[in-house]
Amino acid sequence: MPNDDSVTEVKCEYYVPMGKPGAFIIKVPIVLSNLKISIPIKKKIDLNKNCRGIKTNHNKVYLKNSKLNSNGKLLVNGYIHKSLKYSIYNLDKITEQSMNVDIPVAANVTINFDQIPICKTPNSEACFYEKSTPIHCSLDCIEILKDSVCNSSSHYYIEMIISLKLTLTQVQNVFIPEPEGNFMLLSDNSKVLSLDNINEDNSYCVVGYDPKKGLIANKIVQSD
């Protein structure tokens, strides 16, 4: 990797992205639901009974792709790999020991959708029927809200609470209406333009939004 002395700092020019105005149909991922769930976990561990204290406690969370079942429940599965280092009192000396343990994670939650998912029902008379696109679950954030090693009268156990932020999406057809209002025409001395006034067969407009100028447009004339 080059050092800082050999890297040239350059300036950049920002531009407003522009595209075809509506009305038309696009196929895009739709956010069906954003949710946050907290999963309590409790597991017995075989910690040395002479343990005198936890020195280090590290966790790695491994989760499978969460899936939505036919009953509208989201299934979350995986495990937490925990590494512990602790001190014990043995033969009048304090020594250090370590332990690795995999803690299973299994939970389900009933989903309330902000947007209704599309679930097509096949027609038995159809020769071919395209299935609806699957619902995708993306993991946005993992937090460990509680993580402690507890001691009862007979054994040690781990108590944890993990928090997951998830987003459910599905690819659907979406109608994009024609934008309303006048546009500032950038390619013609910044005149105000209404899309209804574009009647030439050999021209079209691309439009965008500038925070300072508002709705903007560029008129594109196609060559013969």
Mean of per-residue pLDDT scores for the chain: 83
Element containing residue 184 per DSSP (H, E): strand 183-185
Is the whole-model pTM more than 0.85? no
Asked if omega into 23 is within 30° of 0 (cis), the reply is: yes
199 — phi, psi (to 5°)?
A: -115, -10
Q: Mean pLDDT over residues 121-131, rounded?
A: 59
Please report where in the chains the tokens 């009933």 appear, as a residue. Answer: 110
Contact 222, 204 (CB under 8 A): yes
pLDDT at 222 over 80: no
174-188 confidence digits (pLDDT tens): 998 888 777 887 755
5-44 confidence digits (pLDDT tens): 788 889 998 888 888 887 889 999 999 999 999 999 999 9
pLDDT of residue 31: 96
88-121 confidence digits (pLDDT tens): 877 778 888 888 999 999 999 999 999 989 876 6
Residues in Cβ contact with 34 at an 8 Å cutoff, skipping those fewer than 6 apart:
114, 165, 166, 167, 168
Measured from the Cβ of residue 54, the count of other Cβ atoms closer than 10 Å reads 15
- Long-range contacts for 25-28 (Cβ within 8 Å, ≥24 apart)? 25/173, 25/174, 25/175, 25/176, 26/173, 26/174, 26/176, 27/171, 27/172, 27/173, 27/174, 28/171, 28/172, 28/174
- What does the alpha-carbon distance between residue 110 and residue 194 come to, in Å, rounded to a whole number? 48
Give residue 54's Cα distance to chain centre: 34
CA distances from 46 to 59, 106, 149, 223 (A): 17, 22, 11, 79
